Amino acid sequence: MDQLEIMLKKIAPIIMNCQKKTAIPSWELDDYMQEGMIIALEMYHQILLNPPNTPFNFYVYFKVKFSCYLIDQHRKATAFKRKFDQLDYYELSETINLFDQRQNVSENVMYDLLCQEIHLFLTPEEVRLFEALKRGEKIDRNQKYRIKKKIMDYIKRYW
């Protein structure tokens, strides 16, 4: 194995680590590996053409350069002017937890509308407690009773 192949094997963990820190939409692991190896080869050829005067760690230099490159690519991919190029929908795997699976679509829509109306007439503190209840957190029994009574009165009055 020559020096270039050894270098490319040693940068794979660096690329994987950088991939975890900077997730670019629509990129897969192969994209990260390909771009990382391209950058590493460009750096390697630059070093061969212009050897540095002082010794340095190639892998540290590569990590910094590749991290900056990923940040630039992430900014380009999520730029405001490219919002129109992005998908207008959510992947099914991302939205599967948004709705109760035992209810049909119309029941879920009604539930969402009711929650929005409830947020309008509750105080900010009551909204915080209401959201805690929806997440299944424990709150004081008296506060829970007051919120429940307020919501039930609203429903009886307007529905």
Decide if pLDDT at 120 tops 70.
yes
Better-predicted residue by pLDDT, 136 or 28: 28
* CB atoms near residue 131 (< 10 Å): 13
Where do the H-state alpha helices sit in 50-123? 58-77, 92-95, 105-121
Q: Do 152 and 119 touch, CB atoms closer than 8 A?
A: no
Provide the residue ranges of all domains of the chain, joining segments of one domain with +. Answer: 3-85, 97-158
Q: Which amino acid is at 98?
A: L
**How do residues 12-58 score in pLDDT, each as one tens digit?**
999 988 888 888 877 888 899 999 999 999 998 888 888 888 888 88
Q: Residue 155: what are its φ and ψ, rounded to 5°?
A: -65, -40
Tokens of 28: 């897969």
